[in-house]
Structure 1
Amino acid sequence: MIPIEDFQFRKWLGQGSFGKVFMAEHKKTGKKVAIKMMEKLHICYNQMTESLFLERDILRLSRNSRNPFLVSLVCAFQREHHVYIAMEFAAGGSLASHLGNGALPHTSTLFYSACIVLGIKFLHENRIVHRDLKPDNIVIDGAGYAQLADFGLCKTGIDFRDVMPYPCGTINYWAPEMFSGEGYKRTVDWWALGVIIYEMAVGKMPFHGNKEVLRDSILNKEPEYPAGLDGGTRVIIKELLEKDPEYRLGSLRNDGEEVMNFSFFNPIMWNALMAKQIRAPFVPSQDIVQSEAGNDGAIVTPHNCTSRISHFTQKAFIGFDMLPEDSS
């Protein structure tokens, strides 16, 4: 069992329906990690147990494969009321945080897009569809490389022609076929990439409005392209935001290879990128700001989680724990 006391919680990073994320430091090694903390009762009540184990397994796959374009697992452990997933800490924050001031330079858009392509390609080669790609779920590591994160909505066992019945994820990034009720394929990840590239290049969403307006825009309208937008960027966005999934860029059996070979990516040296031999356009400072948040009882066991959890509930988390890779 991994003691929670091994970690010093340094900084609160964010919160969602899943729980809380903290930046923490391993006391013995000084290694910084991001720890996602989730309440067991919340997980069981919302039937998220399968999603929890899935996220842990994809993070482990990333760790085992040494893939630099997915966040990877450090360890997983639990206490009576909570489960914890410790992951690589992304010193550069989320891609969304970099879009707060508008459009990115073309070099940054190209670089991050290439990283995302390699991340999607790896998932699809392993029969995994992400289904919730968006800037909030893409992080920038210490070397400035973009990594895919948040794998709880992934679908596994999906091949080239397999159809998934139930849409999920963030509606702003849904492909048109996700509204149809007739199922969708892995090409929805490439549509989401098109939305993300548009955001990076233009500084706003290609489709917006309330749910009904958004649905109509995604199904029936084309994005507006600023007059000064680079021609190559405009073309790849149009190819990725093709409303017919059978003609969308990335729809062929070779999937990511088709996207990599598109003219927009001609400047990218893929082997060098995979080996992280290209200097990123932005490299985060190594001086991480430390908050005064400590590893106190309020973090480990919040006041609303003081009652004991039933043996039946605890059984759902048997086998969840996973040691660090370098453990003996």
Structure 2
Amino acid sequence: MNCCRKQSSSPLGFRKGLWAPGLTGQAGWAGARRGSVGNERNLCSVVVDCFPCFRAQPLGDVLPELIKHGREKIEQTIKASGSRLCSYAERVVFLMDRSRSPDKSTQPSTPTDNINLGPSANPNAKPTDFDFLKVIGKGSFGKVLLAKRKCDGTFYAVKVLHKKTILKKKEQNHIMAERNVLLKNVKHPFLVGLHYSFQTSEKLYFVLDYVNGGELFFHLQRERCFREPRARFYAAEVASAIGYLHSLNIIYRDLKPENILLDCQGHIVLTDFGLCKEGMEQEETTSTFCGTPEYLAPEVLKKQPYDRTVDWWCLGAVLYEMLFGLPPFYSRDVSQMYDNILHKPLQIQGTKTVAACDIIQGLLHKDQKRRLGAKTDFLEIKNHVFFSPINWDDLYHKRITPPFNPNVAGPADLRHFDPEFTQEAISASITRTPDLAASSSSASDAFLGFSYAPTEEDI
């Protein structure tokens, strides 16, 4: 993994380069991070270095050609190639036998799989309903745009994804899972809301809440760390959102500052549900290796069955980062960081309160059975003494004034977005409305049932 790459995520979970000028020392760690585990591109580049015969091939073709020879043979080849590739952190993902994983919902579908969640509930929605104003995020599958609906002037964040790219990377199950989770988030104040979704023959469109207060990661880069009351406020709102997901038997699995946005008032909005796992009852476990390196729980690294407490581990890591400026077991060497997570005792330095130290130690307990939240889930978190200043009913109803105001002047205020995005021209293809019925390709068939419109009682 390239530990010197400057990488962050953009609004709504789209990862892109972000750098805050003038930050040095501890804050410079931001240049070394980001990217969820499972990214094959980094591994491919190492394979190419170690096996020159693949150098002339397109990067995306390297892994399939290797995989077809069998994982056992690849393991032998990797070990024989020397320590460099053998110690590479993402080797774990590369060699993972997904056929043994009970997490069926994350298994990639073939391009001809027919994902049918029912008839389209919003057949009349189309791209020309919107004026697309600015690009505010980019990712592997498409872009996020600030858009104004023509009929009423309402601003939305519209996430536009390319079907063929999703199918090529076999990610349609994750996209549909994200849509399913978004449908359940409308009623919670700290989860981004899906207003409706629709599709053309080429693209998928999520019409989402527009949030322009910036990523928590962006503000951490600028300020290095937060005072305890501010960190407590954000942690409480995040815990409320995670607790709600757990009440729906959903585990989040990718909590990190990049996925925590601030709204125009300074309240948090949790976004990016592509790694969520549905159907997780209180005692249910899963074993899929996924997440972001800095925040992976020990049981995930060990490829052991894990439960809802992985989210409370991540909350502990984010709280630690807010208070100290770095994730708890951070190292620029990813293999060393994994070893730290598994074996290194938690170190808490500085003059933090006893309550803050205690909740961090509880959330970051390496034994998931003894971790804070293992017994009564969110109830155990909210009753911890660290949150004693919080009135949870007032918090839920946003009656508590946020400790920080992003001071945005209105929807057109884009000061918290990367200019690299906002200065980009908007492609004309975004606004085209190809006839969905005219295409019989697998790119259309795989997303049957994607479209969604709220019922009248939801509006």
Q: Structure 1 residues 110, 325: CA separation in 2 closer, same or farther (over 3 Å shift)?
A: farther
Number of residue equivalences: 319
> Aligned partner of 2:394: which letter?
A
Q: Secondary structure at the match of 2:367?
A: coil
Deviation at 1:309, TM superposition (A): 6.3
The alpha carbon displacement at 1:294 in A equals 7.0
* Contact preservation (8 Å) 1:128, 1:155: yes
1:82 aligns with 2:206: no
Find the counterpart in structure 2 of residue 99 from structure 1: 220
Q: Give matches, 1:215-294, under 5 Å.
A: 215-252=338-375, 254-284=376-406, 285-287=408-410, 288-289=412-413
Provide the residue aligned with 1:55 in structure 2. 178
What is the one-letter code of the residue matched to 2:276? C
**Paired AA for residue 135 in structure 2:** W
Contact 1:38 1:83 in 2 (8 A): yes
Q: CA deviation at 1:286?
A: 3.5
Deviates more, 1:268-277 or 1:220-229: 220-229
Structure 1 residues 22-31 or 115-124, which shifts more?
A: 22-31
Indicate whether 1:32 and 2:155 are aligned. Answer: yes
| Aligned residues of 2:202 and 2:443 also touching (Cα < 8 A) | no
User: Which one-letter code corresponds to 1:322 in the other structure?
Assistant: Y
Structure 2 CA distance, aligned partners of 1:193 and 1:169? 13
Q: Using the alignment, how far apart are the partners of 1:107 and 1:54 within structure 2?
A: 35
Question: What is the aligned partner in structure 2 of residue 176 from structure 1?
Answer: 298
- How far the C-alpha of 1:139 sits from its partner, in A, is 1.2
- 2:143 pairs with 1:20: yes
Please say which of residues 233-242 and 309-318 is displaced more in the overlay.
309-318
Q: Which residue, 106, 115, 131 being the options, matches 2:253?
A: 131
**Residue 318 of structure 1 aligns with which residue?**
448
The residue type equivalent to 1:8 in the other structure is D
Identity of aligned residues (%): 36
**Cα separation, 2, equivalents of 1:314 and 1:281:** 46
Q: Retained in 2: the 8 A contact 1:59–1:72?
A: yes
Q: Of the two, which has the highest radius of gyration?
A: 2
In the TM superposition, residue 225 of structure 1 has moved relative to its aligned partner by: 2.2
Which stretch of structure 1 is more off in the superposition, 224-233 or 77-86? Answer: 224-233
Can you list the C-alpha shifts for 1:164-201, whole angstroms capped at 9, x where unaligned?
A: 02121112110000011222111000000000001111
**Cα RMSD between the aligned structures?**
2.0
Tell me the distance in 1 between the aligned counterparts of 2:282 and 2:264.
34
Task: Provide the rounded CA distance (Å) in 2 between the counterparts of 1:184 and 1:45.
Answer: 29
Whether the 8 Å CA contact 1:163–1:185 is kept in 2: the answer is yes
C-alpha separation in 1, matches of 2:341 and 2:382: 25
Judged with a 3 Å threshold, the aligned counterparts in structure 2 of structure 1 residues 266 and 28 are, in CA distance, closer, same or farther, namely: same
3-state SS of 1:41 partner: helix
Cα distance per residue 1:220-271 (max 9 Å; x no partner): 113432322333222211110000000000111x200000000000000001
**How far did 1:118 drift?**
0.5
In 1, the alpha carbon distance for the partners of 2:351 and 2:131 equals: 48
Q: TM-score, normalized by length of structure 2? A: 0.66
State whether residues 103 and 203 of structure 1, in contact with CA within 8 Å, keep that contact through their aligned partners in structure 2.
Answer: yes
User: TM-score scaled by structure 1?
Assistant: 0.91
- Residue 229 of structure 1 aligns to a residue in which SS? coil
Contact 2:135 2:426 in 1 (8 A): no
User: 1:159 deviation in Å?
Assistant: 1.2
- In structure 1, the residue matched to 2:115 is none
CA-CA distance at 1:41 after TM superposition: 0.7
Is the CA contact (8 Å cut-off) linking 1:115 and 1:146 kept in structure 2?
yes
1:67 aligns with 2:188: yes
Cα distance, 1:143 vs structure 2: 2.8
Opposite residue 444 of structure 2, the aligned amino acid is Q
